[in-house]
Amino acid sequence: MKKIFYNSPLGQITILADDQAIYGLWFNKQKHFGGHYDLDTIEGDMTKQAAKAINWLDKYFAGQNPSCTGLVLNPDATAFQQKVYQTLVKVPSGETITYKELSNLIQAGHPHKNLSRAIGNAVSHNQLLLLIPCHRVIGSNGSLTGFAGGLDRKKELLKLEGALPNE
């Protein structure tokens, strides 16, 4: 596993990957930066999956809608978090989903006592920002709520995707 840095228009991004998979993609200094990984002890170097992530990021920040085909995403996540993430990757670019809608989709096959809190926790601990589009989750009233990368970035990402009008 190696780390590499990507300079995006919204700040530096750290990518954690090897030749087989991408394990993390974080805006530097965001909440939950690095997840469970000690990034200070991981060497920096390019890997096959990191190169694919950089290609994806270049297209994404150029305003394209790149496919994740060929990217192998492997976040360190519980089975429940994986279910949330599998649902999130189905939300198309340019669209949003509310926490309530997300809860309704998850609830069908996953009874959970405190479902809303569990979903919020899973979304906030997403280790693969942008690739697993947690920035597309909004409040039921349309408000831009919680994003580990910061609400200003969330707003800019949604504008870039066309989900919010440019002011």
Catalytic residues: 134
Cβ contact 81:63 at 8 Å: no
Identify which of 55, 35, 43 has the alpha carbon closest to the alpha carbon of residue 3. 43
- For residue 22, the surrounding DSSP H or E stretch is strand 22-27
Separation CA 135–CA 118 (nearest Å)? 17
Per the rule left: phi > 0, alpha: psi between -120 and 50, beta: everything else, 11 is left
